[in-house]
Amino acid sequence: WVYRQGSQYFLTQEQSSVEQYFSLQANPLTYSYLSSIAVRIFGDTYLSYRLFALIGGSLLLALLARHNNPWLILLVGLNPLIWIYSGRAYSELLSVGVMLLAFETRGSCILRGVWGGLAATVKYHAIVVNGVYWGLQWLRRTMQEKQWVWRDANLQSAAISLFGLVVFLLFYMYQTNIWIAPEKFQVVHGSIQFDNWLNNFYSYGFYLSGMFFLTIPAHLQNIQWRWHAVALSISIPLAISNQNLGEIDFGSFDQLLSNEIILLIKVVGFWNFLLCCKQFWQDRESRIMLLTILIYITMFSLAKPVQRYLIFVIPFWAILVCSHIRLHRLFWWGFVIGLCGLNGFASLYQVSNAQA
């Protein structure tokens, strides 16, 4: 509904529409502008506002198909956050789809940078993932060659993305008189809160790994019990003290889950998160992707936590899971069927409550 208000501004030039948008939304008007084009072509329907989210989700899955792993496509496509937000008029999926296009583009650092910058103009979070990943790749090459390498494709892609975003922000400020986001959202999302960092990091960790609970049988089979004890000794006390200081909720399931079940999900989820990190770190080639995810989560743990921000790292976590977790096909199929059931219930529940 909020993005619709932004689209109506481009369609009608009514100032009240954009004022209402900025009173409720911190994201730039980019998605609303694209939706306004769809409205001009297809009419003022639900599909017009959700079209670019669907395009972003489809692009994401098409790019993941390059990995030649059908389980990866199923894990991402049926992930509850991906599933829900690919059918809503939100900007995350379009931004993630274009961001992954930047990563998958080969041969031209300029084109990669352009795609990365465009992804960031839809949702600013993309520049964090792009910048961290390409920056770490550049640092690794610099350390390997033991000298600063300025003519590096990754560094150039990051610089082009950042330059493009800065140009967009200057143009955006000129048009809207807003720098990055409305002032009230700068206070909410931009204020650094070191006191709540560990609480929010825990929330992101258990939520992300909890959506990939199929890794648990592999951990039980392959990891020594002393590591399980260490992970649980960290997870349990943090779970007991953990609070939802933002939007780390379970959506349709909030009304059905008891406090005891939620506590168990937190304990098991973060325990799984720590063991996954241990597994992924053992592979040198996976460390940069893992560090990108951890740095991203760390940065956004300093502000108000929101579960849909994890959409930007879910594809990369899924890639790591599919690369390092070995399970019998029965477990994979069971997990996929479970996700279908969860998504089906959530969708029906939302439709019945007129919240889809």
Q: What is the pLDDT of residues 189-207, one digit of tens each?
A: 666 777 789 999 999 999 9
Give the tens place of pLDDT for each residue, 48-76.
Answer: 999 999 999 999 999 999 999 999 999 99
The yes-or-no verdict on residue 129 having pLDDT over 90 is yes
- Tell me what the mean pLDDT of segment 21-27 comes to: 86
CA atoms of 8 and 305, how far apart (whole Å): 29
Higher pLDDT, 255 or 217: 217
User: What integer is the mean pLDDT of 111-140?
Assistant: 96
Which of 79-83, 270-274, 316-320 bottoms out in mean pLDDT, i.e. has the lowest? 79-83
Q: Is the pLDDT of residue 342 over 70?
A: yes
Residue 98 near residue 126 (C-beta atoms within 8 A): yes
Instruction: For residue 306, list its beta bridge partners.
Output: 247
Q: Whole-angstrom Cα distance, residue 107 to residue 133?
A: 17
The answer to whether 253 and 346 have CB atoms below 8 angstroms apart is yes
Q: Which DSSP symbol is given to 177? A: S
CA distance 156 to 134: 9
CA distance 225 to 18: 56
User: What average pLDDT does range 150-154 have in this prediction?
Assistant: 92
What lies within 8 Å, CB to CB, of 116 at 6+ separation is 99, 102, 126, 127, 130, 134, 157, 158, 160, 161, 164
199-242 pLDDT, tens digit per residue, is 999 999 999 999 999 999 999 998 999 999 999 999 999 999 99
DSSP string, 2-62: HHHHHHHHHHH--HHHHHHHHHH--S-THHHHHHHHHHHHH-SSHHHHHHHHHHHHHHHHH
pLDDT of residue 134: 96
106 vs 203, more confident? 203
Could you give the C-alpha distances from 266 to 4, 6, 261, in angstroms and in order? 35, 37, 9
What average pLDDT is seen over the chain? 90
How many Å apart are CA 208 and CA 210, to the nearest integer? 5
Nearest to 140 by CA among 308, 284, 16: 284
Distance of CA 13 to the CA centre of its chain: 32
The helix/strand/coil state of 219 is: helix
Confidence band (pLDDT; 50, 70, 90) for 356?
Answer: very low
- Alpha helices (runs of H) in 246-328, residue ranges in sequence order: 259-281, 287-300, 314-324
Q: Return the half-sphere exposure (C-beta side, CA atoms, 13 A cut-off) of residue 97.
A: 21
Q: Which of 29-43, 106-120, 179-193, 310-324 has the lowest mean pLDDT?
A: 179-193
Provide DSSP, 102-160.
HHH--S-HHHHHHHHHHHHHH-THHHHHHHHHHHHHHHHHHHHHTS---S-HHHHHHHH
Looking at residue 354, what is its pLDDT?
47
For a pLDDT cut of 90, what percent of the chain falls above it?
Answer: 64
Tokens matching residue 121 = 């103009």
**When comparing pLDDT for 347 and 38, which is higher?**
38
Q: What pLDDT score does 191 carry?
A: 63
Mean pLDDT within 124-142: 95
Task: Give pLDDT, residue 84.
Answer: 86
